[in-house]
Structure 1
Amino acid sequence: MSAPTIDGIARARTAAARESWAEAYELLHAHDAHPSRALTADDLMTLADASWWAGHVDESVAARLRAHAAYVAGGDHRGAGLASWWLSYEYEGLGRPAAAADWLHRAHHHLDDEPPCPEQCFLAWSEAEEASARGDSAAALAAARRMTRLAVRSGSPDLLALSRHAQASVLLADGHRAEALALLDDAMCAVSAGELSGLFTGWLYCLALPRCMQAADFARAVEWTNAAMEWCAAPWTGRPTEAEPAEAAAPLPVETFPVKTLPMETPLTVPSGENPFRGPCRAYRVEVLDLLGAWELAESEARLACREVPVDCLESAAAAYYAAGDVQRRQGRLAEAAASYAHAHELGRIPQPGLALLRLAQGRAEAAVAGVDLALACQSDPRHDLLGRARLLAARTEVALAVRDVPGAAGAAAELEVLAGDVPLLRAMADTARGAVALAETRPEPALRLLRRALAGWLELRVPYEAAQVRMLLASADRAVGDEEAARLELGAARAVFERLGAVPDARRAAALLTGGLTAREAEVLRLVASGGTNKDIAQALVISEHTVARHLNNIFAKLAVNSRAAATAYAHDLA
């Protein structure tokens, strides 16, 4: 080997040690391209790491396959075991579960008979994940704790932080919230202190952020999402220095969002030198921005996330599409919302409860009920996603009230109450649902108590849209007890929030109620329309003529600023 070649390898190793992955990739790739040169097994693993950071997942897999063969040839079982585990991990991300299972089995073959070593941490992590997936919390916790013992023995801050997260995930799923969050805080403290490598920092952000949202821990989700995006925006060696980054971050016109952003036949890649964790972290940020009412920014971030996610993280793009659909639905852009939900579904996400609420807004109440009921039935283990379950139950309450199924709504609200415990976000959701049910049961005093508590919860969380929705329900309860002044104050506050957010249908509804509202007879006609009644059905039920029904409908359309039965039906459940 010539001196310049040796120098190139040395520089590549130094670049990898300081996580200058673009430089390491270029040096190792150039060396490997020369037919008379050979990389060692360790250098091939470094090339695989550098290829992954550069967005070339296929090259990463190819380099690891060669590294595994080199380790086997040299009798290095620990090296071969680590290469096998990484191949399992990468094949899983690429949607090849059979290959992933094969390589995980091979990793066990190489490592199970070895004395305790750091490489076995990854096997213990996989065992914990597999046990959690099949609902065996005892086995999952045992594997996670074994991972921690191995990590402590290794002296690796990276492995110790990851093992803390693994334990936290198992404990959260098993209902041990306080203990789990303490472990998660410990792991994320190491992240925020800059004690970990780039890979483990990115891993922990991408693992902790969805875990926070699934556990409905909104405060941690906000804090860690902001921290993740700051880390992702740090200068990366090889990152373009021209105007491209600033242009990429600029909001895009709404009309450009995304019917063909993610064609299934074209895998996404991250530009060389960019941080491959940025797309997934940005996708998690979208959900936080959505709750905080920063809808314009959330939609813009969703577009960027869909372009940035690597090919092995397409579930992040699905989450971004779904969140964008929620924004579009609440702004009354129903066709765009339907397209976004369809893209989320194409990428493997069940777009519920957003799709059910879209069907409700379109006047398709039966489809809404069927969709949310199926999603509830298909949720394999609600403990793994408390917020997801809570959102389905809240939507089930809403659509049940829309079709006048008060017992069904009460059942969903009761389950949500049990689920909520003392978690602020879930507590606000449960109080909202139970208050809406009490209002439908013509029990305005209990409704007022529950809804006022729900409003306080949403305001403390700084979640404006849901707070405004509660104000609409409070206005109905206030009017039911004869407090017209309080009702008008609530309607005015709700209308201002809806207008600021661009929630056009809700703003129109608040304005209609504020400037005269529907009469009792008009509200009854609207409820019957929402139940699927024709003009003839309504006339017979109310003992009035079909001409009178038509006149009432014209008045309803005018007051709600809509022009169809379907659009008017979307508001019926809030006017009960």
Structure 2
Amino acid sequence: MSALADGREAYAQRRWPDAIGLYTAAEQDAELTAGDLERLAIAVILTGRGPDGVDILGRAHLRYLADGDHSAAVRCAAWTGLNLILLGEPARSAGWLARARRIIDDVPQPCPYEGLLFIPAGLGALYGGDGTAAAEAFTRAADLGRERGDADTAALGTLGLGQTKILLGQFPDGLALLDEAMVAVTLGEISPVPAGIIYCAVIETCRLAFDLNRAHEWTRALDRWCGAQQNLVYFSGQCQMHRAELYRLHGAWAEALDAARAAQELAFRGDRMATYGGFYEQGEIHRLRGDFDAAETAYLHAEETGFPAQPGLALLRLAQGRPDQAQSLLRQAMDTVDPAYRRRMLAARVEIELAAGDARAARAAMEELASLCASLDMPMLHALAEQSEAAVLFHEGSPEASLVLLRRAWSRWLSLDAPFEAARCRALLASLCAALGDEESARLERDAARAVFFELGAVPALPVLERSAPAGLAAPPAPVPVSRNRGDDAPAGPLTARETEVLRLVSAGLGNRDIAAELFISEKTVARHLSNIFTKLDLTSRTAATAYAYRHGLV
């Protein structure tokens, strides 16, 4: 086969470096067609060379114009503009988008790709906080995409509309639209670049909606999608930063740090959108471990991207014994970010305001967090709201009411498998029990929390155990692995939700390492879950566990 034919085959198989090399070799012998130039540009963009890819896409645009294919020329111009937005070049982007609009206006027949031009307008309105204008633009994009057979635009418009509805607090409708956009991606209907955009945007939006289960599911899917492509840089860094957050939540801090560093490396290689998350997650792990200087450096690198490193940096100031600075930093950040990001800072706001002595501000933040539960039924959100209310009530002198809320929050977090947050929750339970005169329960809770802190290396959390009345919690409160008083969200049967998930994966033939990778937990945590499964079910082997799973319809 010729280099050109081989290049086309490599592109179809998503062997991006091979496609680039073969197309480049073919161009030495003859001019590439407009379609081949466009495919070359996409391969170059996906391997992290965005500026070079944009230049090649511009050449493809000119070739399409020379061939009289105005619709394809519009597609290239629009995607050049969209890529320039991602590269941080708004002026050049505006020029290319205006060029695409002029071609559409000059050609009498409808253009299949006209809907693409509404995506930048929707993004501008979304990031500017104008939900109404964003919804109108994204709806127009989705409608035009469907009417004219452009699946990429239809999916991007659906995605944007889902993001907008979540920004506006219309959570069920927004999440349903995100799922709809992802169906098109998983069916293979979407081109590589918009597919990656949709994956990463859906995961980020699920985080902002406190939907940990969806974020987990789509991060696993994104991980597999990235792994199936040769030397994919673009989107791989963002995948790593999402992996880092999940590892951190599940107590796999070494794995989280590795993923954060991988995100930074891929950001340096071209996935610029991974820069913030890579450094922010690195800062979080260093802060939790007590390496405050390293945390400071990482947070400041994150802030260089233009986004506030909050609430992490404020919580670092609190850990350093500077509550007034923590309070000032977080208040300033929450006054400037959009509502979706503000929601993610509310739990930290409760803790910091209590520590700084402003109980009224703490209660206001707690009530704002609790009010979200009426429109968004997510275990993480309910746990945050209940835990924050428990901290405020305890501070106000109502330990009995706090205890009920805290145990309910713990039960919700139990299913989310978050050991550090679980231990912090037990630390507060210890203080509550002590305040109520139950010293034996206080000792048991304190000892259990201390064991987890030592295992994780969470040095700064240890002094909390010696306080009689902690001000609150910085991170989302978490489960306490005790069998009593389980709440409504506790899984049915002898196994927790996570243990059931581990059992299913064991039954599928996965080893501990593969299970850990699939669930974004450490191998040590997998082993602990297996031990619990064997004990609860009175089993002695993986084979017996598999048989149990099949007998009880778990697989």
TM-score strictly above 0.5: yes
**Inter-partner Cα distance in structure 1 for 2:248 and 2:18:** 38
Q: CA deviation at 1:175?
A: 2.0
**Match for residue 545 of structure 2?**
none
Deviates more, 1:144-153 or 1:355-364: 144-153
Q: 1:405 aligns with which of 358, 361, 366?
A: 358
Residues in 1 aligned to 2:294 and 2:93: alpha-carbon distance in whole angstroms: 37
State the identity %: 40
Which residue, out of 48, 68, 83, partners 1:55? 48
Aligned with 1:423 (options 378, 403, 417): 378
Q: How does 1:220-369 map to 2 (within 5 A)?
A: 220-234=214-228, 236=229, 239=230, 273-309=231-267, 313-369=271-327
Given the alignment, which residue of 368, 373, 392 partners 2:331? 373
The secondary structure found in structure 2 opposite 1:461 is: coil
Higher Cα Rg: structure 1 or 2? 1
**Which string of whole-angstrom CA distances, capped at 9 and with x for unpartnered residues, describes residues 491-537 of structure 1?**
12222222222111213543xx3xxx77xxxx9xx99xxxxxxxxxx
Q: Does 1:214 align with 2:214?
A: no
Show the counterpart of 1:20.
Answer: 15
Task: Give the counterpart letter for 2:169 in structure 1.
Answer: G
CA deviation after TM superposition for structure 1 residue 156, in Å: 5.1
The reply to whether residue 95 of structure 1 matches residue 65 of structure 2 is no
Confirm whether residue 495 of structure 1 aligns to residue 453 of structure 2. Answer: no
Query: Which residue is equivalent to 2:77?
Result: 84
Gaps of 5+ in 1: 240-272, 528-576
1:323-380 deviation digits (Å, cap 9, x = unpaired) = 111111111111111111111112333111111111111112221111111111111x
Question: Cα 1:107–1:349, aligned 2, differ >3 Å: closer, same or farther?
Answer: same
Distance 1:459 1:415, change over 3 A: same
Which consecutive aligned stretches of 4+ in structure 1 deviate over 6 angstroms post-superposition? none
Aligned residue in 1 for 2:408: 453
**Counterpart code for 1:425:** M
Which amino acid letter does the alignment assign opposite residue 274 of structure 2? S
Aligned residues: 468
Return the alpha-carbon distance in structure 1 between the equivalents of residues 233 and 353 of structure 2. 45
Matches within 5 A, 1:147-166: 147-155=141-149, 157-166=151-160
- How much has 1:80 moved relative to structure 2? 2.3
* CA RMSD after TM alignment: 2.5
8 A contact 1:315–1:349 mirrored in 2: no
Q: Is the CA contact (8 Å cut-off) linking 1:148 and 1:164 kept in structure 2? A: yes
Contact 1:319-1:349 at 8 Å conserved across structures = no
When residues 450 and 368 of structure 1 are mapped into structure 2, their CA distance, relative to the original with a 3 A threshold, is same
Measure the CA separation in 2 of the matches of 1:415 and 1:423: 15
Question: 1 CA distance for matches of 2:76 and 2:200?
Answer: 22
Instruction: Say which of 464, 469, 472 aligns to 2:419.
Output: 464
Task: Give the equivalent residue in structure 2 for 1:105.
Answer: 98
Give 1:15 deviation, angstroms: 3.5
Query: What one-letter code is carried by the residue in structure 2 that aligns with 1:56?
Result: R
Question: Structure 1 pair 465/303, CA: closer, same or farther in 2 (3 Å)?
Answer: same
Counterpart contact for 1:284–1:316, Cα < 8 Å: no
Contact 1:314 1:347 in 2 (8 A): no
- Flag the 1:162–1:310 CA change in 2: closer, same or farther, 3 A: farther
Is 2:386 aligned against 1:392?
no
The answer to whether the 8 A contact 1:390-1:426 is kept is no
2:175 equivalent to 1:181: yes
Q: Distance in 2 between matches of 1:83 and 1:374?
A: 41
1:476 equivalent among 431, 434, 440: 431
Deviation, 1:179, is 1.8
Does the CA contact (< 8 Å) of 1:428 and 1:458 recur in 2? yes
Asked whether the 8 Å contact 1:93–1:312 carries over to 2, the reply is: no
C-alpha deviation, 1:311, in angstroms? 5.6
The partner residue of 1:507 within 423, 438, 462 is: 462
Q: Does 2:135 match 1:141?
A: yes
Q: Which residue type is aligned with residue 162 of structure 2?
A: A
CA contact (8 A) 1:375 1:392 kept: no
Paired letter, 1:32: E
Distance verdict in 2 for CA 1:211–1:482, change over 3 Å: same
Q: Deviations over 1:102-144 (max 9, x none)?
A: 2122222222465444312311322322232333333322332
In structure 1, what is the Cα distance between the partners aligned to 2:135 and 2:412? Answer: 34
- Quote the Cα distance in structure 1 between the aligned partners of 2:85 and 2:182: 25
Secondary structure of 1:103's counterpart equals helix
Deviation string, structure 1 residues 512-563 (Cα, Å, up to 9, x no partner):
x3xxx77xxxx9xx99xxxxxxxxxxxxxxxxxxxxxxxxxxxxxxxxxxxx
Seen in structure 2, the aligned counterparts of structure 1 residues 15 and 216 have a Cα distance that, compared at 3 Å, is same
Q: Work out the CA distance in 2 between the residues paired with 1:167 and 1:378.
A: 23
- Which amino acid counterpart does residue 406 of structure 1 have in structure 2? A
Q: Deviations over 1:7-39 (max 9, x none)?
A: 4434433433443333331222123345xx323
- Once residues 188 and 78 of structure 2 are traced to their aligned partners in structure 1, the CA distance between those partners, rounded to angstroms, is 26
Per the TM alignment, residue 286 of structure 1 is displaced from its structure 2 partner at its CA by 1.2
CA distance in 1, matches of 2:76, 2:379: 44
